[in-house]
Every structure is written in structure tokens, then in C-alpha cells.
Amino acid sequence: MAEFVIRGGEVVDPSGRRTADVRVRDGFVVEVGDALDGPEVLDATGAIVTPGFVDLHTHLREPGDEDAETIATGSRAAALGGYTAVVAMPNTRPPLDDPTIVRAVLAIGADACCEVISSGCITRGRAGEALAPMGELHALGVRVFTDDGACVMSAGLMRRALEYSLGLPGAVVAQHAEDDTMCAGGSMHEGAVSSRLGIPGRPAEAEAVIVARDLRLAALTGAAIHFLHLSTAAAVDLVRAAKRDGVRVTCEVAPHHFTLTDEACASFDPAFKVHPPLRSASDVAAVRAGLADGTIDAIATDHAPHTPEAKERPFEEAPPGMLGLETAAALAYTELVESGECSLAQVLAALSWNPARIAGVEDRHGVAIAPGAPANLCVFDPSATWTVDPAGLASRARNTPFAGRTLHGRVRHTVLRGERVVVDGEAQR
């Protein structure tokens, strides 16, 4: 494996911030210092050198919906977005509730442009009726268990899942917190905008009641719980209080939930349809405050590709979901760092080492850049300015809500296990 030097950047990692060059050899960082030279150089002048990003929430659509995305195309988009690892969500066809399917995903992912980590279903078929074989899936390396896209509605079954996870080292149960009985038929946030548009809504309380319930279950069992894509002020407040009380809870937020409000749906453009839905301005402010004070642990993309044929249906008929892998870091930098609401280190923690810890891959991702560390790295240029063009994205799909938006900050290089998979913004495979 080639040796090279990342030269001229500012290293920002869990240990702090300093100007340094980084030498990579045989898949590992071997030297961090000043004025390093080598046979090949990656230019990091004016850029940030950081551990690669880790996405806790990626829909790769394979198996079953390869016309929208594949592991190959999704992982390429991830690498271009600075990600060296993604957690593949289980709502594939068939779902990731069986060891055979998990093995197949991991086998395909072995050649991907980032590490593909398989999640596993909480319940068989994501039907919410019986537990999936969590122990068998855990033996294959699964650490995140979720029925994402479907809330586990049974409190008794959720309790059993949490209790069972206690016997699985490193396991975390991750909930899609939307009460189905309150959201049925809803296509956007329930509020003044939905009333004006005549579109059935999904109330903020549908998230809060599940978060409140599952926090009580986590406290009862002592198990770790993670909440996917939180979107409401009430949910953030509940998690904040639970953390103060010592509950083992973590949570994530998607970039669209700290950048867009339900007013975007006034265009009736299905690109803005997502579950949980875009919320009110006060919810967006609360989510941003939760990132700033550390209540929210991670920024996760909820990358959800759909074919144009599916997404271009009328708003209420179109499937929910948005692309996110290539725009997440730039949105976080533009919206949170440039506004002064979060420091650069806070945002990088939420993109890299915090999700790495939650996913149980902190041995190789989100690691401080020092001799002996695995070379899973991202070089991010905060001075780069670019405009989101759906046709220029690596995903097989085009359903981004940020088309035409100018962003600050872009990934220059991505290094996976010492291999340069993105160089000067171009995927190498």
C-alpha cells in the first residue's frame, strides 16, 4: 500500500486542534509532525484534516431497490461527503432481519468506497410483532438495532428488545420515534402551514410521546437507547432531562431538520417530504440549540434515495425521504459554524467521533490522528463555495431539497484504510 503525506492542513480530532502534516503508510497513520515529506503528497493547505465522518443513518436500498441506490453508488456518495463509514438501515427488501441478508450486505460492502456497517431489525420484517434474532445478528457484527421507517409501537416488545440488548456487548436499540396512530395519513408537520395548504399533518406530539415512553423503558431496563432523526423541541427537552438523570440515551439529528422548516412544503414539491417531517421554526431553533449544548450527540444524514418516478408523484402520494451524504458536512458548516452557534470541533464531533462511539466502531473511526491510528481520514476545505446540482451528485437518485443552494465547505480528500478514495473532490473508484 502506498505511502503519502497529507501536508499543510490543520488537524482537528478528539485530542484537540493543531497545525501538522500527517504521514500515512500501509493503512495507518505513522507520523504527525511539521514539514513532513514523502513520495506522494495530498495538499491540505487551508483545509481541516479530521477523522473520517461516520453516518449512523444511511439508506443504501440494496437489496431490493437498486434502481434508487446501490451499495456501490451510495458508498461513493458517502466518500465524496467525507464519510469513511456508514450504518446501512434495515428497511431493504428483504429487510435486514436475517443473518443471510446481513452477510450478503456485508459481502457487497467489502469493496465499497467506505466501510458499510449493517444495522439489524428490532422485529421480524419490521412488523413490530416479534423480536428479530438479535443475538445471531450481533454475532455478525451488528451493533445498531432498529426498525427505522417504522416505530416499535408495542411498549412491551420495546422493553423486551432493550432487555435483550443488555446481553449483547455494545448493542444499542435505535427508535424511529413517531406514534403511528397519531401520524396515519399525514404527509407534513401538523400546524398552521399544513392547515393553510390542506395537507394532513403529522403532529410534533407523535414524536414526543414515543420519546417519553422509551426513555422510561431505558431507565427501567438500564439499556442504551438511541433516537433517530429527532425533529421537535419537546423531544430535545425530554432527552436533555433524561441525560441529566443518568439515562443511557443518545440521539441524532438530520441536516434538513436544522436547516429547513415546514414552510418549504408550500411549494408542494415532494423533494421536501420526509418523515419525520420538516418542522416549525421554533422546533428548528430547539434542534440547533440541542446541538450547541451537546444534548444531540450526532448529525446523521438519513440519506434516503428515491427514483424520479417515485418522488415526482403528488406530494401526498410521494414517498418520504431526501438525499444527504454529499451535503451534510457543508450544511453543518454553513448553518452551524458560520453562524457561530457551534464550534468547528463540535460539528466535527457530531459528524465523526460521537457517531463512531454510538455505532461501536470507535476502534477504527473517529480516532485521534496519531501514530498507530487507522488511516480513515477526511480533508475538509471550509473556504470552498459550491452550489448543489442534483445532476452532479454521485447518488443514483436526485431527490435533494437543497438543489440550487450555495454552501460553504467541501470535502477535498477522503482516505479509507490508507487508500485515497477521493482526491481533489473526485472519486477514485
* Nearest-10 Cα torsion for 110, 114, 117, 118: -70
Question: Of these residues, 302, 363, 381, 389, which one is catalytic?
Answer: 302
* CA–centroid distance for 4 within its chain: 29
> Can you tell me the distance from the alpha carbon of 286 to that of 239, in angstroms, rounded to the nearest whole number?
12
Question: For residues 305-320, b (16+ Cβ closer than 10 Å) or e, as one string?
Answer: bbbeebbeeebeebbb
> Can you tell me the distance from the alpha carbon of 399 to that of 406, in angstroms, rounded to the nearest whole number?
17
**Does the active-site annotation cover 302?**
yes
How far CA 21 is from CA of 5, 121, 217, 219, in Å, comes to 7, 42, 47, 45
Residues identified as active-site: 302
